[in-house]
Amino acid sequence: MAAAQHGNGFDPKRTKECVDRIEALAAKKQSLHMTYMAECAAINEDIGDVYQEAKDAWHIPKKALRTVIKARATERKLLAMREDLDLIDRESFDQIRHSLGDLADTPLGSAALNGAEEAAEGKGSRQSRKQRDAALDAVSTGNGAEKLATGISKLN
Which pTM was predicted? 0.52
pLDDT of 122 reads 55
Q: Which of 69, 95, 71 is CA-nearest to residue 82? A: 95
Query: Residue 84 has what pLDDT?
Result: 96
Convert the pLDDT of each residue in 93-128 to its tens digit. 888 888 887 766 656 666 666 776 666 665 555 556
Give the integer Cα–Cα distance in Å for 107 and 58: 25
Ranges of residues in the chain whose predicted pLDDT is under 50? 1-2, 144-145, 147-151, 156
Strands 9-10 and 5-6: antiparallel
- The residues near 82 (Cβ < 8 Å, ≥ 6 apart) are 90, 93, 94
| Total length of the chain | 156
Question: What pLDDT was estimated at residue 131?
Answer: 66
